[in-house]
Amino acid sequence: MSERPILLHSSYIQDAVEGLPERLRFAFGVACCQRILPLLGENTGNAKVDVAGNYLEKVWRWTADLDDAPDDPPEVLESLIPSDEMAGAHQEWYQSALLFYELACFVAENRSSEIWRISDGCFALLDNYLYRTLALPVSGENDRIIDNHPLVVQAMQWERDDIDLMGARDSNSIFAVWKRSKQQQLLSLSL
């Protein structure tokens, strides 16, 4: 049996992101979170989306050398995470909020070496979202259905395109990824 495409993608992203300069690593992580912002909003409402969106804007500006690093403590993003009793019933909210919090921790600690994990988290979120939405039982056969779903295929392509754009290793590549990720909302794709 061959390895799942999503696992192959994860290995590629880890290697590719580790080869980028630090600021571009952060830009990759913020692009991943930018694309899941609508999913957070679908579960939390506008106030929390504004907190997350404003934070992403600060990180974008920092990665593009337009501002200093955000000084928001990770606890600001931790406030997005639902309570334990809510988390079980709202997995997409819980998972997306954790990804924003993880990005905030990486930025606050100026630690980009594992930023590729945000991509893995986004795909775990998509996996759960699609299994729930399509009402599929978890199985190897259904993993293949999920991995080949247009939403997953498109998300993998967007990330590969980000890596290609960042290959230029300049601020123009950050601006290009910044603009694209704001237009590439995962939930705007139809199931």
Identify the pLDDT of residue 45: 67
Identify the pLDDT of residue 189: 46
* Residues 6+ positions from 92 with CB-CB distance below 8 Å: 39, 42, 43, 125, 128, 129, 132
pTM beyond 0.85, yes or no: yes
Superfamily of domain 5-181: YP_001051499.1 domain like (1.20.1590.10)
Q: What is the 3-state secondary structure (H, E, C) of 56-95?
A: HHHHHHHHCCCCCCCCCCHHHHHCCCCCHHHHCCCHHHHH
Measured distance CA(26)–CA(114) in Å, rounded: 10
pLDDT tens track, the chain, 191 positions = 578 899 999 999 999 999 999 999 999 999 999 998 887 777 676 677 888 999 999 999 999 889 998 988 888 888 888 777 776 677 888 888 899 999 999 999 999 999 999 999 999 999 988 998 999 999 999 999 999 999 999 999 999 999 999 887 766 888 888 888 888 876 554 44
Residues 32 and 118: beta-carbon distance below 8 Å: yes
* Three-state DSSP state, 100: helix
Measured distance CA(87)–CA(28) in Å, rounded: 27
DSSP H stretches of helix in the chain: 5-18, 22-44, 46-63, 74-78, 84-87, 91-108, 117-133, 140-147, 150-166, 171-183
Residue spans of the domains in the chain: they are: 5-181
* Three-state DSSP state, 134: coil
